[in-house]
Every structure is written in C-alpha cells, then in structure tokens.
Amino acid sequence: MSTAPHEDVLPDEELRTLLAHWRAANYLSAGQIYLLANPLLTEPLRPEHIKPRLLGHWGTSPGLNLVYTHMNRVIRKRDLDALVIWGPGHGGPSVVANSWLEGSYSETYPDVSLDAEGMERLFRQFSFPGGVPSHVAPETPGSIHEGGELGYSLAHAYGAAFDNPGLLVACVIGDGEAETGPLAASWHSDKFLDPVHDGAVLPILHLNGYKIANPTVLSRLPEHELDAMLRGFGHDPVHVTGDDPEQVHRDMAAALDQVLDRIAVIQRTAREEGVTERPRWPMIVLRTPKGWTGPAEVDGVPVEGTWRAHQVPLAGVRDNPGHLAMLEQWLRSYRPEELFGADGAPVAEVLACVPAGAKRLGSSPHANGGLLTRQLPVPPLEDFAVPVERPGAGTHEPTRVLGAMLEQVMKNTAARRDFRLVGPDETDSNRLSAVFGATGKAWQAETLPGDVNLDRHGRVMEILSEHLCQGWLEGYTLTGRHGLFSCYEAFVHIVDSMVNQHIKWLKTSRALSWRAPVPSLNYLLTSHVWRQDHNGFSHQDPGFVDHVLNKSPEVVRVYLPPDANTLLSVADHALRSKDYVNVVVAGKQPCFDWLSMDEARVHCARGAGIWDWAGNEQGREPDVVLGCAGDVPTQEVLAAAKLLRQHLPDLAFRVVNVVDMTRLLPKEEHPHGLSEAEYHGLFTSDKPVVFAYHGYPWLIHRLAYRRRGHAHLHVRGYKEAGTTTTPFDMVVQNDLDRYRLVMDVIDRVPGLAVRAAAVRQTMADARARHHLHIRATGVDLPEVAEWTWND
Amino acid sequence: MSTAPHEDVLPDEELRTLLAHWRAANYLSAGQIYLLANPLLTEPLRPEHIKPRLLGHWGTSPGLNLVYTHMNRVIRKRDLDALVIWGPGHGGPSVVANSWLEGSYSETYPDVSLDAEGMERLFRQFSFPGGVPSHVAPETPGSIHEGGELGYSLAHAYGAAFDNPGLLVACVIGDGEAETGPLAASWHSDKFLDPVHDGAVLPILHLNGYKIANPTVLSRLPEHELDAMLRGFGHDPVHVTGDDPEQVHRDMAAALDQVLDRIAVIQRTAREEGVTERPRWPMIVLRTPKGWTGPAEVDGVPVEGTWRAHQVPLAGVRDNPGHLAMLEQWLRSYRPEELFGADGAPVAEVLACVPAGAKRLGSSPHANGGLLTRQLPVPPLEDFAVPVERPGAGTHEPTRVLGAMLEQVMKNTAARRDFRLVGPDETDSNRLSAVFGATGKAWQAETLPGDVNLDRHGRVMEILSEHLCQGWLEGYTLTGRHGLFSCYEAFVHIVDSMVNQHIKWLKTSRALSWRAPVPSLNYLLTSHVWRQDHNGFSHQDPGFVDHVLNKSPEVVRVYLPPDANTLLSVADHALRSKDYVNVVVAGKQPCFDWLSMDEARVHCARGAGIWDWAGNEQGREPDVVLGCAGDVPTQEVLAAAKLLRQHLPDLAFRVVNVVDMTRLLPKEEHPHGLSEAEYHGLFTSDKPVVFAYHGYPWLIHRLAYRRRGHAHLHVRGYKEAGTTTTPFDMVVQNDLDRYRLVMDVIDRVPGLAVRAAAVRQTMADARARHHLHIRATGVDLPEVAEWTWND
C-alpha cells in the first residue's frame, strides 16, 4: 500500500482556493435540495423559501465535490484532457453545482445563468417538475453515466478510455455500487487496457461507509484485506482518509499528484520505451464521512457520517422551526457571502482552480461524444455479398459472411482506432473470426506460447462477462466511437437492465439539442434459440426482442435478416446509424441464400415485403398469407410453401418476409410502422395469415393487434419447448415446422379442412416419422436435413 | 498463502483406489460424449459405435472428476453431509458419470442400471434426443445448479449453506465463470455466512486456464496477485497444481484434509467457544490442464491443456480412421477392463472411496430439497389485516402491513430457521422494517457503535447486489427452505436472466417424478414505476412482468394486489406455494383500503372480479367496463368512476379489478386462465373496455388477444414517459389518469362523444390546470392529492 505523503505539496494559498471552491459546491448542492428562493441567503430563511417536497440526496455530495475540486486543480495544473465518471447514486446536485461554478452549465443552459437569478433557477429546477433529476443524467453537462441503477461506472470509464490515448478517465465508485456484480467484474478491465493506444483509468473508490440503510461491505473490511483485494485486481491503492477538511484537501492533492505522476510514467515507458509488462495502475481509496459538513446530529441521532445522511438530513424544514434554523445554520456555515458576489456569481478565489474552455469537466467533448464521431468507413457490401443465382441455390453461414465485412471495417479503422467488436468469448464461436485478419484480441495479462490472436493492441474485446461487454461498449459509443456486441441470443438477457438504462439515456439525450448524436449500440444476437439444440434448454431464449420493444420507439430497432446478404445490408445500416439500439438476430449455421445483394438492399430498406418467387398467387387473390421473420422460420415457411405447391396446387398463397419487426407496428406507434394500407397490401385485411416467427409468438400479436384483420392472424414461434435434441426437432417441438404450418393453412383456410384432410394426415404422419427417427438415430431425417428449395 | 503439504497423507493403497475411481469417471465421461455402443470396448472400436453428432464437452470433465473422487473420500472418511455445486459449463458427463458409479444414478433412473446395459444407455442418452443435456441440469442427481449460463454457482452454494449448520457445500468455480459479474460479487458472501447457524462453503477455484477460445483472466495472473485477491475476499487459499495424476491426487487429498480441519476449527470455536471474529475461510485453487488425460495433440496441434480441449477433442471420429484409432487409444488408456467387471459394474477398488446411502453426492436430500421442506408457518392473516368499514375509508402502506406479517413468519421460524428475506439494501426503504422486531440483518463484517439491526445470526439479507439476493434465495429454496425477495421494481431486471434459468429449472424439475416440489421463489416488487416520481426515469420500468410471462405457464404467477389486505392474501398464497415463481407487485406508499380481509381472500382466490360497489350498473347492462390492475391504476379507475357518476350519471359502467394477471389468458394457455364464458362474464363480449394497467399496456393485449371482444379493449399503462415530477403527473404523462380515463370512456362508448363533449372538455381542462399547477408549485393539486373515494 502506498500512502499519500504527509508533507504539504499544497501552498496555503492554493489550499484556500480549493476550500473555497469546495465550500461553494457544497453550498450549491445543499441549496438545490432545499431552496426555492433566497438562494444567496440575503435574508433570513423562511419556510416559503423551502421546496414543498424535499427530493434529493445529500450524502454523497461532499465527497463528489471534493473530487471535482481536485480534478479541476490537476486538469489546470497539468493541462489534462479529463473525463470523470460519477458512479454514486444521486450525485446530481454535486455535478450540477460544479458545472455551474465553472460556467459549463450556463453555457449549456443559458437561462440558468451564472448569477443570482440563475442560481435560483438552478436550485428550483432540481428534482422539480420540468426540471432535472437527482442523479447524474443525460441532462448533466460532462456526463456519460447515469447515477441511477449503479454498477456500471467502472466499465463505462474503461469504455471511454479505450482508443483515447490522451484522455484521463477518473471514475468515482461508490462503496454501495462496489457491491454489485457488474462493478465487481469491472476491476479486471485493467487486463484489457493498452497503455499505448488507450487512455488511463483512475478508479477513486469512495468509501463513505453507508448505503441507504446499511454499512457497506468494503468499508467494513480491515484495511489490509481491502488493500490485498485491490492489489489482487492489479492496482496500487493510495489512501486518503479523514474528516478534517484542510487535511483531507492536502492529502487529496498529494494523492492525485502521486497517481498522475505514476500514470505519466506508465504511459511514457509503454509508449516511448516499449515496456510491455502489464502496469500496476494506481488508484485512490477515499474515505470521508457520508454527508460530511452537513448536520452532525438531528433530533438526537447522529446524521453526518451515518446512513441517515443518505437522503435529506433535515426532513421537516418547512414545518419544524428547529429544523429550519439548523438548515440555515448549515447553509451559512459555508459562508456564501464570501463565495459569491452581490450579483450571485462565484468570486475569483472560488474559480481559481477551474480550468478553461473544453478542459472543464462539464465541457469535455468526450462527454458529448457525438461531437467527435467520424462516420464509420463501412466498405462496399458488394465486396462481401454472396452470389445468388436463384433463391435457395446455395448456402452460407451469415455471421461468417458478416465477419469478412467486419474485418474490412477493422482494416479501414486501423489508424483511426474508432471501432471495436466486443463479445463474451464468442467471436470464434459466432463465426466472426475473419476479423482476426485485421486485429487481435485485446490482452494485457500474461501470454503463453501457443496463444493465438491475443494482441496488446487488439480491438476485439473478449471476456466472459456480458456486463463488461455492454458497459465497455456503452462507454465507447457514448464517447463517440463505433462498435458491435456479438452475443449468444439467450444470454443477452444478462444485460437487460443495462440496455434499459442505455435506451433511457439515448431517449433523453435525443431531446437535448446540445447533445450530438452518438453511434448506435449494435447487437448481433446469434447462436440463437433454434440452433441451440446441442446446448439445450438453458441456452434457448429469444425474449430480448420483446424486452427491447417495450422501450422508447424512437430509439429501438429490431432486425431479423433471413440470410447472409440481408444480414450485410442490415449491419451496414446499423453501423452507420446514430442514437439507436439496433438488435440484429441472425444465425451462424449454414442458411440458404434467398436474396441477391441488390434484392437484399431493397428488401431491408422496405423492412417487409412479398416474396413473389416463393408464393404462387400470380395475380390471383391469395387464399392465405404465409408470414415469416427470422432465418429458421423463413426456411420452414418456404418448405411449407413447397409442400403446398406439391400437395395443394390450387391453393393461392403469398409469402411475406419481415426483416424489420417494427414495421408491424402502426405508424402512429413507431417511426418504422406501416400504414394500415401498406399493412393490408402485404397481409390483406381479411385472409388468414399463418405467421412463423423466430421468437415468442405473442410478440407478433402485441405488434399487430390494432390491425384490421388481426383476428385472422395465427402465429407460431418459440414457446419454451426445447431441450438437447436435433435442429428439426426444435421446430417440431414448438409447432413451427413446415408440416405443422401446412396443417395450420389447412385448418385456417375456409373450406380446406375437408378437401385437404388427407394432406393434413400426410403432414401429421411426417411429424410422427420424424419423432421415431431421431429417437432411434439421433439425427434428422434426410428429407429435412438435406432439404432444398430448388429441386 | 498456504500450500498443500508435500508429505504424503495418503497411503499408497488408498491412492490406488482414488486413481481407479478417477479413471473410471474419466472413462465414463468420454464414453458419454462418443459412444453409442460397445461401452466396455469389448470389441475393437468401429465407426458405427460412435454417435453421429458429437455434442459434448470434455475439457472440464477430468477436473470435476478429480473433485468428485476426493469429495467421496472425505465424505466417507469424515462422515460429512456434503453438497457440491458444479459451476463449470458442460460438466454434465462428469457428474452423471460419478453418480452412476456410486449407484445414485441407477436408483434415480432404474433403466440406466449399474451394468453394461445401463452403461450403454448412459452413454447413448447423453446429448441425444430424449436424453440428458450436456450441462449439469435438473435431470442430474445431486445437483441444484444448471451449468449452463455461468455466474451463479457461488451464490447458490451460499444459499444452500445458510441455515444448514451441518452441511458442507463445496463449490467448483470455473475460471471462465469467475469472469462474470455475479460470480465476482459472490466472493463477498463470506461476510454474510454465520459460522454458528450456517454450514460451510468451500470454494474450489478450478483454473484449467481456458474458456471456449481464450485463456482465462485469473489463470494468467501472477500467483501473488491471485492470492492477494482471494485473501482480499477473506479467504485463505490452498493451492493444488499439477498435471501428474499421482502427485495431484496426493496434493488434493492433503489440501482437502487441511481445509476441512480448518473449517472444523472455525465452526467449533464459533459454536462452542463463542468466537465472533469473522473467520478467514479456507478455499482451494486447483490448477490442472483443460482436457487432462485426453489427446495431447490432434492433427499436429496441441489439444490437452489448451482451449481446443473445451468441446470434443477428436471431431472426425466417424469418418477419420486416424481419429477413431486415437479415440480407442485414449479410451483404453483408462484400462476399462480393470475398472469394470464383465457385467459392466464397477469393481470394488473403484468403489472403495464411495460413501453410502444419502451421504453420496448424488443422493443428498439437500439436492432434492423438497424432501426436506416443512410447510411454512404463515400466521393467520386476520392478525394483520387492516379494518375496512367501507371501501376507501382509510389508507395503509401495503408493504408495511405485509412487514408485520413477515415479522410473525420470522418469529414462527426462529428455531427452525427456514425462512429468509433478501433484498438489495431496501428492507427499510420498502417499509418491511417490522421484520427487525424478529431478526436482524445478517452481517459478519466489522460493526461500529451506532449500527442498527446488524446481527451475526440475522435472517434478513441485504447487499447491494440483486444478483446475490437472487442467487442466495435460489440456493436456499432449491435446498427446501422458504424466502421472499423484495426489490425495487425497475431493478429486478438485473436478474432477468437468472430468473429465466430458475424458471427453466423448475419447469424441468416438475416433469421429473423423483424431484420433490420446492418452495416457490417469491418476489415482492415495490417502489414501483408510479411512485418513482422522485427518483426519475432510470427507476421506472414495469417490464419484469412481461419478461416472466414469456416463460412456462406452469411455473409463473403474477399478482397485482390493489391494497393492503389483498397483498396479505396474495403473499400468504405465494409463501405457501411450491415450484412457482410468484411475482407480486405492490406499493409502499399510502394506498386506499378497498377490501376487507374476507373480501380480499375471495377476490384474490378468484383472481379477477367485479367490484359492484364501484360501478353503477345495478342490474342494467353496462355501457362500458372499466378494468384495472395494480394499486395506482385501481385508484385512478375509481377516481374516474366517481367523475363518471358525477358528470354522466346515466352511464352504466362496471368496474373489474384483476389481481392475477394470468386470468386474462385463455384457459388453454395457462392453468389460471379464464374460460371464454368467465371472461365475458366479467368484461362482456361486445362492450368497450377501458383498462388501466400498471405496466406496459400492450401486455394486456398480448394476454387477451384471443378473446372475442378484444377489438373493444382499450388499455392505458406505462409507456416510457416519466421523469422527476409529482405522483399525479406520472399518471398524466402516461395517459393513465382519471381525467384521461373519463375521456377514453366518452370516446369509446357509442353516441357519447357528442352528448358528453362538455364533460370531455372539463376533463381536458383539469389536465391542463394540473400541468400549470405543478410547474408553479412542485406539488399536485389538492383535488388529486387529497382525493378520496368517500365524500
């Protein structure tokens, strides 16, 4: 363990300015929680100056204010480009206060001016209808991280640092947050941080000791145990501990100087001297009281330094004159009259530590990453498209085809370094391994002879943690760079809650004119439900699409390309897009090529379309429409189509393939929604529709329930029937197979039940034959395993 | 760091029997992956003996077999009650092999007998249609943990150990799994393990070095760094490292003896000598090659000891005579003829280490926890019911009322210790604090003066990790005990994927006659979407219900009790039930009491019903039905009802409240589904239904789309509109408010639009007035804030 040196690196003069800035930030933090009026306490505090609902959190603020103040100092002193991730929950008042002090806030929101009137607005808007949230949020200048759900700060910090060699990313980790799984996993991100091409991450573990109602685990470990853990994570911890403001400020300044010197050495030796040993990155353990400088005791119980300081230390201020007096005393303890001029603007001493312009934390372009985004150089798709002479003549593994395209994206960004591919140990398994022709897997831990594709400077990121993949990529894209997350479909649910938060972030950001659009967060979900026959039931879940489609329609996009060329087209669109969450579900197993590249582009642009060559209506009115979405359902629908042609040649049927799931929504509900006329142009308004869908069948109803003709819609999909079996048995078990689809057509088309009874029996027999065969042999019947559209 | 002593604690004779057992298990593991026939290699291996699809994973098996063999030894030697959680993915062949050797498998599945015929069945069924999965799964005797998704093994181990003082729970953690967030967080579970009332957890971190395609992070740390980390987690690691079987067996025996001696001392000193210092629990770091004893090299590349051994080391066996010969050589290297008699049964030497009866790992009743379950002593609800003279006369905080009932459950189980309440630091916040009258919060870390409710022996579990709450409770209930997880509604999405896996486990278990039903996993979701006005958008997500309802209907139950007494009734039912996942969504804020306890019981048993007193049809045919589900929507519907009575007294309307969401499903789709006649008895088949739902509105359509009359169903709910605002503004922003509902009625009832145009305008005006008021004052208008049903 290193300890901050006790000699004073800080001249008294400078210390005084830092204390002034800190007091100002503390004052402004408390003011936001409490005050509606009288912001400068120019008159005695009265109940009507107090907000009617006290909705805020004081506990974490003084510690964050300390960090902000000292980050200001080092940014200014060292001319750093820095970004801070504010992890603790409810840190809003603090970060807002500091960005107001430095001027960033008023530049972003001119009506919240840097004067008394602006200060009153600043106070009033906090946790107030029409105002700003109590967390650090998209509304907060300088932030890429919502301090709401907790767990993701350190992953975001690393994501921001990757490929930003000039950037220092400090990350304040609350000791509550540190108990979460994602944060616990994030400590190992240092094995993936390249000191040459990446920036530095400086974790600041803030132990204020308490969560909402409990002590925190890490704050109640013996220091040697905590240190052992942090050293085990690869860090060299420097401690700053105390409750005496002057001493803590002195120690914090010394600690920051020490760790930044060390980081400078690490980067210099790696970059200039070619040192390749994994560095032991420094970090800070900051131990200060929760609710520091707030009321020590309220109504006879201790508050400062306990969990009771978490939220509003004085709750009865409007009704309880004693509380009101304590609040006034508390606020006046910061001596606002020394900190702000008569006009309400901070005085020079307060601002002495504040850096200028884009160096200010609230004005960093990295925290408004769209400002830095360059269009991703996606290569021409023709270079990777598979030839399709006629539909179904050949097969390809769609993700492998995509892999070749991604290799070129990696090559095109070799110098720019603004594209990363992340995934939990599955790039190979998901058949994207072509990318290794352009770059390797980021890896700073030990290597052994025989290792392949590990690369100190690689831009493929693999760790067996979907949380880290997601968190890294969020940090990377929110700072303006591009990426793709390839994941087993079932296990992407691990990050359901993270993607919720990211979508909420994007939704809110889009409404803020000052936030520039950032690259979309792109998912490739593969190794999907229908081809997890070998991994079994635990690996079968197509519900992420349902989860995402509950979210804001302006942000979410869901694509199910049915073959290789459509996957290329969809990926091209996703990679070029901004401010979306794009979910692409595509298989890695050999799949028939249905559309040429040109056809694929047109089909994907439309999002849904009639496949003339697959149906047989040819000018007749169709008796039935076969809908399909997803690669396996599309194949089963085409196989059903072939059976219908063979067994029921008089039946007029249409095949409609849907790539963009949101096309099924009414246009009033989603920007991609089809108009009622367009929908009926595809599906008719009165004919039976037998729809084979990749996921849970009721999703299609949830999308299409408002459509006239919805009563005629019959959907097949995954219904939690699955185990270790054969690929075709998976579709049989879920009634999505070709035979069942033909039976569905017979059951749904008026008048067909009797006429086609024998055909129906033939289909039922085929299903029974299949069952006996796989139980005997373990493999599918040749009639399905070797089926082709063309013969 | 401790190191296993090198002196031999193992007599040569015993070593020989352990090696024999291990060889047998290795043979049987490989046999399952490859062989359809010729199980004892009584004839030369031919292609037709080989499975047509090789679906299995060899890599992890030899290490697991080593652990199983040595657990057998110590169980027998020390007469232990032990359970092992097999964390690594795809460990199925190993655990199945060992449980077959010990006889548990054949007792569970008599057709897989302990002879050559049974061995052939054992081999054939593995990863074969109609057979067993490649993971440890519900089908595997002795398991409570699916080795599929990875991340939850250690949390499950702790869950199993809590309140099982006589049980040793060993937990094999793969180094792949160790990279996940949930596993990383689980290490701190030792701060919650009571050496007096809980059993011991013995983590065995198995570093075989590789995942699917990469080295693992932990295996590539310098040993001092790994040790520092583990010591930082509170453990004392003992290392077993090597690839020489004899030496590794000797070291493993010594290591296990050492750690078990240490555990015995810890438990004795805590239990008999009253030592309260948090113990430094021992653990084992086991470093052996991936695919150990398998083919060293295949086609010129190294396999044993690399990631290439992850799955099937020899892939071309059926077609490639060279591979076939290598497989035969590999299998014969275990000398099966020495291990199995002519009848195929294992010989005495192989079985020398195996314990007897229920001591066998595959026969532990703890792994079939329903066998040990005692009915939970839920107290009479009347003791906690709130008095309801007439609907809406009073208010209570429903979760606080439930808290009193839970306190009594805690008291009733004080001696039995088979009930736990888990939650992420939110028991107080969720107003369940009455439980602290009966027990405290489990806590073994340091305490300070001023701490409240921390308790070395407490049965409330709080840590800021939903993953740990979920994992602990899964382990606790799967070993037969009871519990409740209280969680902020939005953040329960953090465990979406875990609950997926648990539901899949229960679904599969229910189909296995030998598995006794276990207590349900119960969620109380509170601090819900409508009352997160102060926390803002990041805390607003009601989608967990949607997520759960995608899953197997035989397992999932979703309840939205509208008041305190209905919450009691629903909780009573959930706590008494088995083999379900019960999701209960209920508020913590003051809520009107609508139903007396008797009425609540009847209403909850029905799951949905007409509230006569709220509607005004009184024998008339209703013009419109107002549906509601959830506490806030129910209040808004009743407020709308009151407005309708006032403004449109001639309109006949009915109020239907739904508690059990699955009642809306057709009875063919869910065991609780209403018949079509029952549904129409509530909602009619042709009248407009205006339905106010707690969550995403389309969920109601997804449940009810098959109903005749669905076209008349109009649903309001949460649509991702939210921020920091007032409670009433939340419902206004989402069009769920009383005024909008009245407008919806006017818009939907034929003929009303013109007649009630003025009323409609009055409603629109009220919404506008509300908006101006909250922007000016920050609080809701008295007409909504102080609204009551009775006046």
pLDDT single digits (tens) B449-475: 999 999 999 999 999 999 999 999 999
Given a cut of 90, whether residue A534 has pLDDT beyond it is no
Contact, B258 vs B70, CB < 8 A?
Answer: no
Q: How far is residue A374's CA from residue A481's CA, in Å, rounded to a whole number?
A: 8
Please give the sequence-ordered ranges of beta strands (E in DSSP) within B449-494, or none if there are none. Answer: 454-455, 460-462, 482-488
Contact B535 A134 (CB under 8 A): yes
pLDDT given for residue B98 in this prediction: 98
Side chain identity, residue A12: D
Given a cut of 80, whether residue A583 has pLDDT beyond it is yes
- Residue A202 pairs in a beta bridge with A170
Look at the domain A382-592 and name its fold.
Rossmann fold (3.40.50)
Domain boundaries, chain A: 2-365, 382-592, 608-785
Q: How far is residue B245's CA from residue B169's CA, in Å, rounded to a whole number?
A: 25
Burial per residue of A412-425, b for 16 or more beta-carbon CB atoms within 10 angstroms, e otherwise: ebeeebbbbbbbbb
Which residues of chain A lie closer than 8 angstroms to B137, CB-CB? Answer: 536-538
- At residue B701's C-alpha, the angle toward residues B695 and B704, to 5°, is 120
Q: How far is residue B351's CA from residue B499's CA, in Å, rounded to a whole number?
A: 38
pLDDT given for residue A90 in this prediction: 87
Contact, A156 vs A475, CB < 8 A?
Answer: yes
Contact, A150 vs A143, CB < 8 A?
Answer: no
Given a cut of 60, whether residue B353 has pLDDT beyond it is yes
pLDDT given for residue B289 in this prediction: 95
Q: How far is residue B2's CA from residue B443's CA, in Å, rounded to a whole number?
A: 27
Give the Å distances, CA to CA, from A23 to A29, A615, B436, B670: 10, 74, 39, 61
pLDDT given for residue A8 in this prediction: 59
Contact, B529 vs B557, CB < 8 A?
Answer: no
Query: If pLDDT is split at 50, 70 and 90, which confidence band does A307 have?
Result: confident
Given a cut of 90, whether residue A478 has pLDDT beyond it is yes
Q: How far is residue A696's CA from residue A673's CA, in Å, rounded to a whole number?
A: 20
Quote the pTM value. Answer: 0.97
Query: If pLDDT is split at 50, 70 and 90, which confidence band does A578 have?
Result: very high
Contact B778 A211 (CB under 8 A): no
DSSP one-letter code for A34:
H
A724 touches chain B (CB under 8 A): yes
Given a cut of 50, whether residue A6 has pLDDT beyond it is no
Given a cut of 80, whether residue A423 has pLDDT beyond it is yes
Q: How far is residue B400's CA from residue B406's CA, in Å, rounded to a whole number?
A: 10
Contact, B588 vs B527, CB < 8 A?
Answer: yes
Which CATH architecture describes the domain B378-592? 3-Layer(aba) Sandwich (3.40)
Neighbours of A616 (CB within 10 A): 19
Query: If pLDDT is split at 50, 70 and 90, which confidence band does B2 have?
Result: very low
pLDDT given for residue A791 in this prediction: 76
Q: How far is residue B314's CA from residue A189's CA, in Å, rounded to a whole number?
A: 34
- The number of angstroms, rounded, from the C-alpha of B259 to the middle of its chain's C-alpha atoms is 30
Reference B569, options B590, B543, B593; nearest CA is B593
Higher pLDDT, B567 or B429: B567
Q: What is the pLDDT of residues B687-740, one digit of tens each?
A: 999 999 999 999 999 999 999 999 999 999 999 998 899 999 999 999 999 999
How many residues in chain A? 791
Q: How far is residue A277's CA from residue A270's CA, in Å, rounded to a whole number?
A: 8
The residue of A33, A96, A218, A550 whose CB has the most chain B CBs within 10 angstroms, and thus the best one to mutate to test that interface, is A550
Tokens for B403?
């808290």
pLDDT given for residue B791 in this prediction: 76
| B770 burial via Cβ count (<10 Å: 0-12, 13-18, 19+) | buried
Tokens for A743?
């039976």
pLDDT given for residue B4 in this prediction: 45
Reference B253, options B15, B580, B585, B568; nearest CA is B15
Share of chain A above pLDDT 90, in %: 94
pLDDT given for residue B534 in this prediction: 86
Q: What is the pLDDT of residues A720-747, one digit of tens each?
A: 998 899 999 999 999 999 999 999 999 9
Tokens for B57?
């994973």
Closest Cα in chain A, distance from residue B75 (Å): 31
Reference B771, options B733, B744, B717, B743; nearest CA is B733
- B770 to chain A: closest CA residue: A129
Share of chain A above pLDDT 70, in %: 99
Report ipTM for this prediction: 0.97
Q: How far is residue A582's CA from residue A576's CA, in Å, rounded to a whole number?
A: 11
**Angle (deg, nearest 10), helices A12-34 and A245-272:** 110
Query: If pLDDT is split at 50, 70 and 90, which confidence band does B215 have?
Result: very high
Q: How far is residue B490's CA from residue B510's CA, in Å, rounded to a whole number?
A: 30
Chain B 465-484, CB below 8 Å of chain A: which residues? Answer: 465-468
Query: If pLDDT is split at 50, 70 and 90, which confidence band does B8 have?
Result: low
Side chain identity, residue B566: T
Contact A215 B705 (CB under 8 A): no
Burial per residue of B411-432, b for 16 or more beta-carbon CB atoms within 10 angstroms, e otherwise: eebeeebbbbbbbbbbbbbbbb
Neighbours of B404 (CB within 10 A): 16
Side chain identity, residue B337: E
Which residues of chain A lie closer than 8 angstroms to B306, CB-CB? Answer: 450
DSSP string of A148-209, one letter each residue: SS-S-HHHHHHHHHTT-TTEEEEEEEETTGGGSHHHHHHGGGGGG--TTTS-EEEEEEE---
Query: If pLDDT is split at 50, 70 and 90, which confidence band does A2 have?
Result: very low
Which residues of chain B lie closer than 8 angstroms to A446, CB-CB? Answer: 220-222
Chain A 530-549, CB below 8 Å of chain B: which residues? Answer: 534-539, 541, 543, 546-547
Given a cut of 70, whether residue B97 has pLDDT beyond it is yes
B463 touches chain A (CB under 8 A): yes
DSSP one-letter code for B578:
B
Dihedral sign from CA coordinates of A321, A322, A325, A330: negative
Contact, B696 vs B717, CB < 8 A?
Answer: yes
Contact A130 B546 (CB under 8 A): no
Q: How far is residue A232's CA from residue A766's CA, in Å, rounded to a whole number?
A: 60
Which residues of chain B lie closer than 8 angstroms to A430, CB-CB? Answer: none
Tokens for A180?
């979460």
Contact, A52 vs B777, CB < 8 A?
Answer: yes
CATH of A608-785, one of 2.30.140.10, 3.40.50.920, 3.40.718.10, 3.40.190.10: 3.40.50.920
Side chain identity, residue B700: I
Chain A 660-699, CB below 8 Å of chain B: which residues? Answer: 696, 698-699
Yes or no: domain A2-365 corresponds to CATH 3.30.1330.30: no
pLDDT given for residue B3 in this prediction: 47
Closest Cα in chain A, distance from residue B13 (Å): 38
Q: What is the pLDDT of residues A79-131, one digit of tens each?
A: 999 999 999 988 999 999 999 999 999 999 999 999 999 999 999 999 999 99
The residue of B497, B712, B732 whose CB has the most chain A CBs within 10 angstroms, and thus the best one to mutate to test that interface, is B497
Closest Cα in chain A, distance from residue B211 (Å): 7
Given a cut of 70, whether residue A58 has pLDDT beyond it is yes
Reference A630, options A538, A492, A531; nearest CA is A531
Give me the half-sphere count of Cα atoms (radius 13 Å) on the Cβ side of residue B743.
Answer: 16
Give me the half-sphere count of Cα atoms (radius 13 Å) on the Cβ side of residue B5.
Answer: 10
Given a cut of 50, whether residue A3 has pLDDT beyond it is no
Closest Cα in chain B, distance from residue A453 (Å): 9
| Residue A293 backbone class (left: φ over 0; alpha: ψ -120 to 50; beta: rest) | left
A302 touches chain B (CB under 8 A): yes
Edge-to-edge strand ranges of the sheet holding A689-693? A608-610, A653-658, A624-629, A689-693, A713-716
Q: How far is residue B781's CA from residue B778's CA, in Å, rounded to a whole number?
A: 10
Contact A538 B133 (CB under 8 A): yes
Which CATH architecture describes the domain B2-363? 3-Layer(aba) Sandwich (3.40)
Tokens for A366?
């990295």
Q: For strand B2-3 and strand B235-241, is the pairing parallel, antiparallel, or unpaired?
A: parallel
Contact B232 A232 (CB under 8 A): yes
Side chain identity, residue B550: N
Q: What is the pLDDT of residues B394-445, one digit of tens each?
A: 999 999 999 999 999 999 999 999 999 999 988 998 999 999 999 999 999 9
- At residue B37's C-alpha, the angle toward residues B33 and B39, to 5°, is 75
Q: Lowest-confidence range among A147-151, A483-487, B672-676? A: A147-151
Please give the sequence-ordered ranges of beta strands (E in DSSP) within B87-138, or none if there are none. Answer: none
B2-363 against B378-592: fold identical: yes
Mapped to the 3 state alphabet, what secondary structure does A87-106 carry? CCCCCHHHHHHHHHHCCHHH
Question: Rounded mean pLDDT of A514-532?
Answer: 96
